[in-house]
């Protein structure tokens, strides 16, 4: 990951609503959440949510897909892992780090435990 991409991602999640949305989608795993359900869980009006989702998608932290009449948003786990790797690159002077655990997030496949759209 390049510094400009890390800055864009960090700027995107440096807002309470966007951080809430991102964390909800990380918890949802690969199944993601429909925009309406995401608005309800985050307590954000749909008009505001669309702005925040656009910022997170633009930063590469989320992606969306169409399922029938629903737009499903999901976290891009590879981007999240790249950002964490960038932030901890050369931790402990390049020696194996005893402080930070290795992050290996493998969400369940999208069809396992898929959330029903509202």
| 37/21 Cα distance (integer angstroms) | 11
pLDDT band, residue 5 (cuts 50/70/90): very high
pLDDT band, residue 118 (cuts 50/70/90): very low
Residues 93-114, mean pLDDT to the nearest whole number: 60
Find, among 28, 39, 41, 37, the residue nearest to 114 by Cα: 28
Residue with the larger pLDDT of the pair 91 and 116: 91
pTM confidence score: 0.79
- The pLDDT tens digits for 18-58 are 999 999 999 999 999 999 999 999 999 999 999 999 999 99
Residue with the larger pLDDT of the pair 90 and 69: 69
Give the per-residue pLDDT at 116.
47
| 80/26 Cα distance (integer angstroms) | 9
């Amino acid at each position: 990951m390049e510094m400009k991409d890390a800055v864009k991602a960090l700027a995107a999640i440096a807002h309470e609503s966007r951080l809430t949305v991102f964390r909800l989608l990380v918890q949802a795993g690969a199944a993601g959440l429909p925009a309406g359900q995401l608005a309800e869980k985050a307590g954000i009006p749909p008009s505001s949510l669309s702005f925040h989702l656009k910022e997170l998608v633009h930063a590469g932290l989320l992606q969306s897909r169409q399922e029938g009449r629903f737009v499903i948003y999901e976290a891009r786990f590879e981007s999240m892992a790249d950002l964490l790797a960038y932030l901890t690159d050369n931790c402990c002077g390049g020696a194996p780090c005893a402080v930070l655990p290795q992050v290996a997030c493998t969400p369940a496949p999208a069809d396992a435990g898929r959330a029903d759209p509202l």
